[in-house]
A and B are shown apart, each in its own frame.
Chain A
């Protein structure tokens, strides 16, 4: 039996709910419905099951109703109609007291902006859930300290949230949720407010954690990469309605409709691909003003082994490898003397033409415009990917 079952769950905000629901059935857009009735359809007719121990990701753009959906699960928002079944018990009609018990024991939530209590220390934040349940101070402190130790924050326990970095604060938020030892973790865009590196780190930590604790995690995000990295199954929402549920692979290979297809950035195959559509921003180094140390430092930071060289006028100049930079440092040469040449293409060069260039090149290919201004770079993988997709469409390109 699934851990959580959701049947025909609907939430309409506002007064004229009947009219709004009628318009949803007629496939009217959210804006139209709002203009007409002044009501907003948060979510409409959601059906899904979440299994024990899986990370179930709900995706969608902002306004798609994903945050409403997660709040319906612990009834921070009251559903208009439909059923939420938890461990075989329908909780939609639980009274206030029973619902408090569900929130205290079964579900905990992690928020996008951490939602830590600024007037409480880290430890007091972590033990909040147990304090609410009336657990004795010594006991709840011990459990909160254990949770903090697991996330490596025990030494900060007497500090206040404002004294910690974003990543640490979110670890506290996670510890606070885990101290209760709930069955289900609800995570509402938990990593969206963090910078990309920390975000990556937190995703890894969450996956590690999941190995140990085996919770049911319902995770909301608007970032496809995040969904693909951590989700066992992914549900995609649009305008409060569910578009597709499946594993990452299923969604990429068999998108249920155009929306999903576009959403997962599947390229439009009717269009001939050119350099511009597959290039990525290139990491640059100014060879006129920067020296080898700066170049090496940047490579280390960005985790790459080469940089595109440009001059002071931001004109494309060449390519600088890490070996060349090391050589320049050792022999005290300017960067200009050690950089190597790099193949160039115009933005409108088509992919199949790039193929032959990149095949021989030891470096990525630079995309420059007519004025020799740097636009981006193309890496080998992108070309292969693009060709593989066009071949799959039967447009062999030999």
Chain B
């Protein structure tokens, strides 16, 4: 390749990486403080919201909507029906988590954004500097914000909020600026001619004039924060987004729709309540006093019931454990089984679905206690190399795992060397960060007959869907496959022989925990070390989930039938 100016490629990537690393190392104190205080603030908010009994929450909110807009029944009815539906779908907890995340992200974005908008409207210089930054922020794909967010704050609510704030900030700044710019010139002159100070002008004329614009900007900001919920769930932000993401990874249309509709209901309710603030004094009829009082009473009922509920709920929970996992069917099975077993033995377990790379990073940074999803020695080779000094590998929890390129048995190829131009020279893969993808890429590079082949990333859920489509049409397809996996039970498939062993030989799934777990939490450490089961057992749980059981239920059923084995983990 001839370079345009024959200058060497700029190490931009390294510069950014080094910059972020420098920040992470030198500012870790600040970041940790923010992470801890932010986490406890959000946990507190969620605890408070979930402590309000659902019926009281729904009815009080519906009445609040009705008291604040007489003669309009749309919103109260939507609140009653919509929130009842969410609760009926067992998503209430997720909804409250999402509400917490959206509330704090929007709140902080507005607290930063509105003053920025005021400043840029007063100072052309500030606007000249901030405007390009805002444009940059607005056009940068939201995913990019997740990377430094994890580096700075690890996983969970705080990095999710951090990314949401950056992503959602621009509209409120832009529209505040615009609204203040559009205050009619003669009104500004009038305010000046009566001797208003800058502040008096701002509060008595400019902000009231710009209010509709500021509210519109705030609404956009809140909606963007809401839309970030799904993206932020990739780095462990809990809530409805996690359900959507997991549905995407499993190609589960129904679950995706249910979580999505819950988000839509939340979005509409929030939007309508914010819209209420945007009143035109000329056309608005003043609310009668009793309605105002009644509305405040509803707010008070919610606050009191929340406070009472949180006090009652704050009785000390058991030992806390956080497990990270990747949204692969195998890992959903194993993590749920272990989590359920630990719960039955008095632990409080949080499971967090994460991208593979983030999962390893979180163990290394002691963000989570451990994971039972480490595929070694080949699949996660790169991860282990990167973090081996920072994690504690406890050993195998499942053996006899195999990775490879997989084809339906109606195709007449048996070895990777036999491939030439089948399936459009395309291998259907899973998430780009997964270990099996690294191995597959290496395979393409080492087999000469695979030159010109390409590897298409998708997701663990989309890959079986693609397989299903091809299989039904008897079309050729090559996938990155691994056992244990339920597709081998559902379809007639075969592994392609791998003479060069680039896809790895026999592998095992391992348990990896954070470096200091043995010291700080020996009981958990012991359980994690003891956790072992077989490929058949895993397969049965996977099949249960595949045929429609919830992961928790499948895990419970497994524990019932294998009681003695499960108990042995806790000895």
Q: Which residues of A contact B (CB under 8 A)?
A: 71, 74, 76, 99-104, 107-109, 111-113, 115-119, 121, 128-129, 131-133, 160, 162-163, 180, 186
Report the minimum CB–CB distance from B280 to chain A (whole Å): 9
Q: Which A residue sits closest to B192, measured CB to CB?
A: A76
Q: Which B residue sits closest to A134, measured CB to CB?
A: B200
Docked complex: B196-239 residues within 8 A CB-CB of A = 196-197, 200, 204-205, 208-209, 211
Q: How far is the CA of A139 from the CA of B196 in the complex (A)?
A: 19
Asked whether, in the complex, the Cβ of A76 is within 8 Å of the Cβ of B186, the reply is no
B112 within 8 A of A: no
Main secondary structure of the interface of A (DSSP, over half): mixed
Docked complex: B243-300 residues within 8 A CB-CB of A = 281-282
Q: Which A residue sits closest to B187, measured CB to CB?
A: A115
Asked whether, in the complex, the Cβ of B190 is within 8 Å of the Cβ of A163, the reply is no
Query: Which of A100, A104, A115, A121: most chain B CB closer than 10 A?
Result: A115
Q: How far is the CA of A292 from the CA of B282 in the complex (A)?
A: 44
Asked whether, in the complex, the Cβ of B281 is within 8 Å of the Cβ of A160, the reply is yes
B194 within 8 A of A: yes
Asked whether, in the complex, the Cβ of B282 is within 8 Å of the Cβ of A103, the reply is no
Q: Within the complex, which residue of A116, A132, A186 is in contact with B200, where a contact is CB–CB below 8 Å?
A: A132
Report the minimum CB–CB distance from B211 to chain A (whole Å): 8
A-B contact count (CB 8 A): 65
Report the minimum CB–CB distance from B197 to chain A (whole Å): 7
Q: Within the complex, which residue of B189, B190, B204, B282 is in contact with A131, where a contact is CB–CB below 8 Å?
A: B204
B13 within 8 A of A: no
Asked whether, in the complex, the Cβ of A119 is within 8 Å of the Cβ of B194, the reply is no
Contacts of B190 in A (CB 8 A): 109, 111, 115-117
With A109-B190, A111-B189, A112-B186 already in contact, 4 other A-B pairs whose C-beta atoms are closer than 8 Å:
A107-B193, A109-B193, A119-B211, A163-B282
Asked whether, in the complex, the Cβ of A132 is within 8 Å of the Cβ of B187, the reply is no
Contacts of A74 in B (CB 8 A): 193
Query: Given the interface contacts A131-B204, A160-B281, does A117 sit within 8 Å of B187 by beta carbon?
Result: yes
Q: List 6 A-B contacts (CB under 8 A).
A: A101-B195, A103-B192, A108-B193, A119-B208, A129-B195, A180-B194
Query: Given the interface contacts A160-B281, A160-B282, does A104 sit within 8 Å of B186 by beta carbon?
Result: no
Contacts of B281 in A (CB 8 A): 119, 121, 160
Contacts of A99 in B (CB 8 A): 195
Contacts of B200 in A (CB 8 A): 132
Asked whether, in the complex, the Cβ of B193 is within 8 Å of the Cβ of A100, the reply is no
Report the minimum CB–CB distance from A78 to chain B (whole Å): 12
Docked complex: B151-182 residues within 8 A CB-CB of A = none
Contacts of B195 in A (CB 8 A): 99-104, 129, 132-133
Asked whether, in the complex, the Cβ of A132 is within 8 Å of the Cβ of B194, the reply is yes
Q: Within the complex, which residue of B187, B189, B204, B209 is in contact with A76, where a contact is CB–CB below 8 Å?
A: B189
Report the contact-size class of chain B (Cβ under 8 Å from the partner): 20 to 34
Asked whether, in the complex, the Cβ of B194 is within 8 Å of the Cβ of A108, the reply is yes
Query: Given the interface contacts A119-B281, A160-B282, A162-B282, does A103 sit within 8 Å of B187 by beta carbon?
Result: no
Q: Which residues of B contact A (CB under 8 A)?
A: 184, 186-187, 189-197, 200, 204-205, 208-209, 211, 281-282
Asked whether, in the complex, the Cβ of B186 is within 8 Å of the Cβ of A100, the reply is no
Q: Which B residue sits closest to A74, measured CB to CB?
A: B193
Contacts of A112 in B (CB 8 A): 186
Q: Which B residue sits closest to A71, measured CB to CB?
A: B189
Asked whether, in the complex, the Cβ of A100 is within 8 Å of the Cβ of B282, the reply is no
Contacts of A128 in B (CB 8 A): 191, 194, 204
Query: Given the interface contacts A115-B189, A117-B187, A119-B209, does A129 sit within 8 Å of B282 by beta carbon?
Result: no
Report the minimum CB–CB distance from B188 to chain A (whole Å): 9
Asked whether, in the complex, the Cβ of B186 is within 8 Å of the Cβ of A111, the reply is yes
Asked whether, in the complex, the Cβ of A76 is within 8 Å of the Cβ of B193, the reply is yes
Report the minimum CB–CB distance from B106 to chain A (whole Å): 25
Asked whether, in the complex, the Cβ of B204 is within 8 Å of the Cβ of A115, the reply is no
Q: How far is the CA of A390 from the CA of B190 in the complex (A)?
A: 48
Q: How far is the CA of A100 from the CA of B189 in the complex (A)?
A: 13
Contacts of A186 in B (CB 8 A): 193
Q: How far is the CA of A121 from the CA of B284 in the complex (A)?
A: 13
Report the minimum CB–CB distance from B283 to chain A (whole Å): 9
Asked whether, in the complex, the Cβ of A103 is within 8 Å of the Cβ of B197, the reply is no
Query: Given the interface contacts A115-B187, A160-B282, A162-B282, does A103 sit within 8 Å of B193 by beta carbon?
Result: yes
Q: Which B residue sits closest to A173, measured CB to CB?
A: B190
Q: How far is the CA of A188 from the CA of B565 in the complex (A)?
A: 93
Q: Which B residue sits closest to A186, measured CB to CB?
A: B193
Contacts of A129 in B (CB 8 A): 194-195
Q: Which B residue sits closest to A180, measured CB to CB?
A: B194
Q: Which B residue sits closest to A113, measured CB to CB?
A: B186
Q: How far is the CA of A162 from the CA of B197 in the complex (A)?
A: 26
Report the minimum CB–CB distance from B254 to chain A (whole Å): 49
Q: How far is the CA of A108 from the CA of B193 in the complex (A)?
A: 7
Contacts of A132 in B (CB 8 A): 194-197, 200, 204
Q: Which B residue sits closest to A111, measured CB to CB?
A: B186
Q: How far is the CA of A247 from the CA of B191 in the complex (A)?
A: 33
Q: Which A residue sits closest to B190, measured CB to CB?
A: A115
Q: Within the complex, which residue of B184, B187, B194, B282 is in contact with A104, where a contact is CB–CB below 8 Å?
A: B194
Contacts of A101 in B (CB 8 A): 195
Asked whether, in the complex, the Cβ of A103 is within 8 Å of the Cβ of B186, the reply is no
Q: How far is the CA of A101 from the CA of B195 in the complex (A)?
A: 7
Contacts of B282 in A (CB 8 A): 118, 160, 162-163
Q: How far is the CA of A142 from the CA of B383 in the complex (A)?
A: 77
Q: How far is the CA of A201 from the CA of B337 in the complex (A)?
A: 89
Q: How far is the CA of A100 from the CA of B193 in the complex (A)?
A: 9
Q: How far is the CA of A185 from the CA of B192 in the complex (A)?
A: 15
Q: How far is the CA of A116 from the CA of B190 in the complex (A)?
A: 8
Report the minimum CB–CB distance from B202 to chain A (whole Å): 13
Contacts of B205 in A (CB 8 A): 117
Contacts of B186 in A (CB 8 A): 111-113, 115
Q: Which B residue sits closest to A77, measured CB to CB?
A: B189
Q: Which B residue sits closest to A125, measured CB to CB?
A: B190
